[in-house]
Amino acid sequence: MASGSGSGGSSDRQRIAQQRLRIIAGHLQAPIDGDTVVVAAECKAQGSKADVSGVEKTVPRRRQETMKWNGWGYSDSRFLFNKKGQAEFSGKRYRLSGMILPSLKDWFESTFGASLQHKTPATPILNSNAVQPPTLNEAFTEELKSTGIPFSHDAEDRVFRSHGHCLHEIFALREGKLGRIPDVVVWPNCHNDVVKIVELACKHNVCLIPYGGGTSVSSALECPPEESRSIVSLDTSQMNRILWIDEKNLTAHVEAGIVGQDLERLLNESGYCTGHEPDSMEFSSLGGWVATRASGMKKNIYGNIEDLVVHIKMVTPQGVIEKSCQGPRTSTGPDVHHFIMGSEGTLGVVTEVTMKIRPVPEYQKYGSVVFPNFEQGVACLREVAKRRCAPASIRLMDNEQFKFGHALKPQVSSIFTSFLDGLKKLYITKFKGFDQNRLCVATLLFEGDRERVLQHEKQVYDIAAKFGGLAAGEDNGQRGYMLTFVIAYLRDLGMDYYVIGESFETSVPWDRVLDICRNVKARIIRECKDKGVQFPPLATCRVTQTYDAGACVYFYFAFNYRGLSNPVHVYEQVEHAAREEILANGGSLSHHHGVGKLRKEWMRQTVSSVGLGMLKSVKDYLDPQNIFGNRNLL
């Protein structure tokens, strides 16, 4: 199907393009004074340069060479307790790397009732003999060989792309348990390679599952166990270049497999940025952001992914979807981009995206505010949102998360620094009367030109003061954002000592924020007790993004599972109850993590039966053979 429709669509596009070229040919002229309007890179072909910048890419084809196969992030980076019983963070990649964390052990043991004597180490090496042999579609494989597109049915390659980062997925891998995994991994190098792969999949009835950064926390990458066809993981990581930068229109056209840190680094070389920084930006891909409707920590200035996208190219079984115009806005019926964004790999593969870019900000400043309690902190964030004066990022931690963050504070290098920290604590608790068990902290990030940033900073701190907030310094703010990129490594440490945990999120109207935070945390504690968890769980939250009409709330919960025969089942029951509580309190099914297979049971009540029918009709038209058969969403 894709072959016939795709080739017809291609010839139509070529005809229209030639016609338009004839019309505008007489208007073209060289840039005035040698100005560069567009910086372009040719599409990749055999023997061509990998990219114009020469920067080494984060994601190699064999990801297992640099990343963990059964945990988060880089193989050389992890939290551990050393021989002295001190916590530290290994490797050299992060600001926290090589540092001692003197408070983490006491916090860990007192919070969870855990002991360093009770250890549950992960399976260190994948046992290839435990991997089921691939189910190959020989006709598909033979034709794929003739295209020259790289592919593999190596056990390690297949296992690496069989999962995201849900608790149950990582827990199973640590124990060496494997379910259904892809049979083949294929690495397209450009859009045209994807077109060939999809055409072959349609011809031979092969199931395709797109794979970007692999950071999903919605079971979106799990292979459906009932799928009997050969499953091919389409890994977009080698489609990782900026194809052009348009400096007049401030847009960049980018291959969708690029991960966030590479995208920002390459744009920075030309003096630009997207400003899109989700917590997973080190490893998550542009295509994944589009497919899940992602949000970044600096969305107050730069917007969410739906605000940044100008143009999308996606390959489907019916052919290629793309608009003919890259204008900033159109009135041409329902926006087809909104069928693509959030489609979670069910309709096709996003191959190229044109996005808005901005000059790298001249000045950046961190900050933090401590509030007497969470209620006053939320009231401050509401007022900041109402006045539309939010900084690039403003995030509010509850008291439990504040204590958690304090436990991650590195060992100070001097007695003087330690003395100053003590004075700050004394000032806040004794002279200002803040209760250590109720106070909470907001972290701030300002960006722009220096004068505006300083004015903006004063405005926000003035508002905070009206709600009892005290400025708590740049260091606390900067450390809060630095921890964003290492906090995901903590779950692996917990699982080494019988502690399992996870995060989940929602969006909610302002008048429900306090209720949802209180009720969901209480529900988690109650459910854990009812399910036989012997130690009180950690249940904590933070407000991470603010809007005119509401906010995004992130929940974290974890517990010591010693004494439980099936801890993952208990965890899933508790999380399910927490999600029910969120929906009952007026929260959304998801703010930015997406639905996947984990949350799709609630889709009908979330978008209505008619809404679900609309989504299914799009799926039926674009993919009647269910080639993109990951079974997410619907």
Would you say 225 and 179 are in contact if contact means Cβ atoms under 8 Å apart? Answer: yes
- Band (pLDDT 50/70/90 cuts) for residue 429 is low
Among candidate residues 554, 556, 561, 571, the one labeled active-site is 554
Which residue would you say has higher pLDDT here, 615 or 325? Answer: 615
Quick check: helix, strand or coil at residue 245? strand
- Band (pLDDT 50/70/90 cuts) for residue 155 is very high
- Band (pLDDT 50/70/90 cuts) for residue 57 is confident
Q: Tell me the C-alpha distance between 613 and 622, whole Å.
A: 14
* Own/partner long-range contacts of 45-48 (Cβ < 8 Å, ≥24 apart): 45/190, 46/148
Region for residue 608 given its phi and psi (left: phi exceeds 0; alpha: psi -120 to 50; beta: otherwise): left
pLDDT digits 0-9 by tens, 313-369: 999 999 999 999 998 999 999 999 999 999 999 999 999 999 999 999 999 999 999
pLDDT of 41 higher than 80? no
pLDDT at 466: 98
pLDDT digits 0-9 by tens, 98-143: 999 999 999 999 999 999 999 999 999 999 999 999 999 999 999 9
Would you say 392 and 374 are in contact if contact means Cβ atoms under 8 Å apart? Answer: no
CA-based nearest residue to 359, from 448, 454, 277: 448
- Band (pLDDT 50/70/90 cuts) for residue 423 is very low
pLDDT digits 0-9 by tens, 217-241: 999 999 999 999 999 999 999 999 9
Alpha helices in 331-371 (DSSP H): 337-340
Give the other-Cβ count within 10 Å of 23's Cβ. Answer: 8
pLDDT, mean over the chain: 91
Q: Which residue has the tokens 């004394």?
A: 426
The pair of structure tokens assigned to 297 is 């920590």
pLDDT digits 0-9 by tens, 400-416: 999 999 899 998 754 44
- Band (pLDDT 50/70/90 cuts) for residue 427 is low
- Band (pLDDT 50/70/90 cuts) for residue 32 is very low
pLDDT of 31 higher than 70? no
Q: Tell me the C-alpha distance between 526 and 515, whole Å.
A: 16
pLDDT at 53: 43
Enter the DSSP assignment of 174.
Answer: H
- Annotation marks residue 554 as catalytic: yes
- Band (pLDDT 50/70/90 cuts) for residue 297 is very high
Q: Tell me the C-alpha distance between 524 and 539, whole Å.
A: 7
pLDDT digits 0-9 by tens, 376-405: 999 999 999 999 999 999 999 999 999 999
Quick check: helix, strand or coil at residue 567? helix
Would you say 545 and 552 are in contact if contact means Cβ atoms under 8 Å apart? Answer: yes
pLDDT at 633: 97
Would you say 149 and 186 are in contact if contact means Cβ atoms under 8 Å apart? Answer: yes
pLDDT of 592 higher than 90? yes
pLDDT of 9 higher than 50? yes
Would you say 630 and 224 are in contact if contact means Cβ atoms under 8 Å apart? Answer: yes
The pair of structure tokens assigned to 106 is 């006491």
Output phi, psi for 282, to 5 deg.
Answer: -60, -40
Give the other-Cβ count within 10 Å of 411's Cβ. Answer: 12
pLDDT of 442 higher than 90? yes
pLDDT at 29: 45
Q: Tell me the C-alpha distance between 35 and 612, whole Å.
A: 50
Q: Tell me the C-alpha distance between 1 and 24, whole Å.
A: 35
Amino acid at 391: P
Sign of CA dihedral 103, 106, 112, 114: positive
The pair of structure tokens assigned to 386 is 């109402």
The pair of structure tokens assigned to 633 is 């969403």
- Band (pLDDT 50/70/90 cuts) for residue 46 is very low
Would you say 232 and 184 are in contact if contact means Cβ atoms under 8 Å apart? Answer: yes
pTM of the model: 0.92
Beta strands in 322-418 (DSSP E): 349-356, 358-359, 363-371, 393-397
- Band (pLDDT 50/70/90 cuts) for residue 372 is very high
Which residue would you say has higher pLDDT here, 462 or 59? Answer: 462
